[in-house]
Amino acid sequence: MPNSSELTAARLPSSYRVIAQGPQPGHTPEQVTQRLAALFRRSGEQMRALLTAPRAIIKKQVDYASALRYREALESCGCVCVIEAEAPDFSALVLQRFASPGIGIVLNAPEAWRASSEGHVYHLFDLDHGSQFSAIGVPNSSLTVQDWSELRVRKVAEEMPWLKQVKRPYKLEGENWGGHTQGLAAEYRGTFPGKDEPSHYLLLSLWTRRALSCLTITAPAAAFDADDALYRWLLQTQLSVQETPPGPVRDEAMARWLKYNKLPVPANTARMQA
């Protein structure tokens, strides 16, 4: 069985690409266009076309340090920018099935990760990189995936004001979801209270006809960037929604939150238990 260092080496890509994805919230397209034109010494028309493209590749086949410099420059212009590994290979990873009891998620993740439950929240920890996956789930009554995503985004704004949204909600699809499961993701950056370094926060709202789940990834910003390709591969190929509630166990905290948002409270609001 490969050890942790062998697994880490197996998933490290040799090169990266830098992708622009439009203006950041609070920056107008015209402002960002002018800054990019000055940065790259190109015409405003060329930069406007780049900015309106959903995924504009700015640079490819660069090492990670170079990709970070490009991203920093683009973000200073007010542009949303991501770094992606080119052709990552995760075939050497040994995966383990992790499942939150009741409604929630099933995720095949590296076997070195650890799981725990805290009240109605199920956690997975990547201790080597300081990353945490957290999941909740409740029965679905009549909400759409857009409704559910809006509620979760609002909850982040209310409870974590130190986070700044760096990616507006976008559609995320799993390879085997078909029409059964729908997902909308949003991404944030900011420094959590008590922390010295900024963190990246990915919020994924998942919908099925019977269940609403929410999966978040919290990681040091540098660690998230380094493992971004792995996390997206896991979400798109190794994730599914677990719809079965554990029984008539009521999650009072979730019921109060749903009531506060004037939503129907399911009779058996599920609690995830260890």
Q: Which residues contact 69 (CB under 8 A, 6 or more apart)?
A: none
Nearest C-alpha neighbor of 102 from the set 77, 78, 84, 119? 119
Low-confidence ranges of the chain (pLDDT < 50): 1-12, 248-249, 265-274
**Residue 271: its pLDDT value, please?**
37
Find tokens 């990246």 and name the residue.
200
**Residue 251: its pLDDT value, please?**
53
Considering only CA atoms, give the Rg of the chain.
Answer: 20
Q: Which fold has domain 11-85?
A: Ribosomal Protein L30; Chain: A, (3.30.1390)
Ranges of beta strands (E only) in 49-120 are 56-62, 79-85, 95-99, 104-110, 114-118
**Residue 237: its pLDDT value, please?**
92
Nearest C-alpha neighbor of 113 from the set 130, 100, 126, 97? 126
**Residue 262: its pLDDT value, please?**
56
Would you tell me which CATH number, out of the four given (3.40.1000.10, 3.30.420.40, 3.40.50.460, 1.20.1050.10), belongs to the domain 95-260?
Answer: 3.40.1000.10
Domain ranges of the chain: 11-85, 95-260
**Residue 186: its pLDDT value, please?**
96
Q: What is the DSSP string of 7-55?
A: HHHHH--S-EEEEEEEEPTT--HHHHHHHHHHHHT--HHHHHHHHHSSS
**Residue 76: its pLDDT value, please?**
94
User: Which residue type occupies 132?
Assistant: Q
**Residue 273: its pLDDT value, please?**
31
* pLDDT per position as a tens digit, 32-74: 999 999 998 889 888 988 888 888 889 888 888 899 999 999 9
211-220, strands of its sheet edge to edge: 114-118, 121-126, 131-139, 211-220, 199-207, 182-190, 164-172
**Residue 248: its pLDDT value, please?**
45
Query: What does pTM read for this prediction?
Result: 0.64
3-state secondary structure of 105: strand
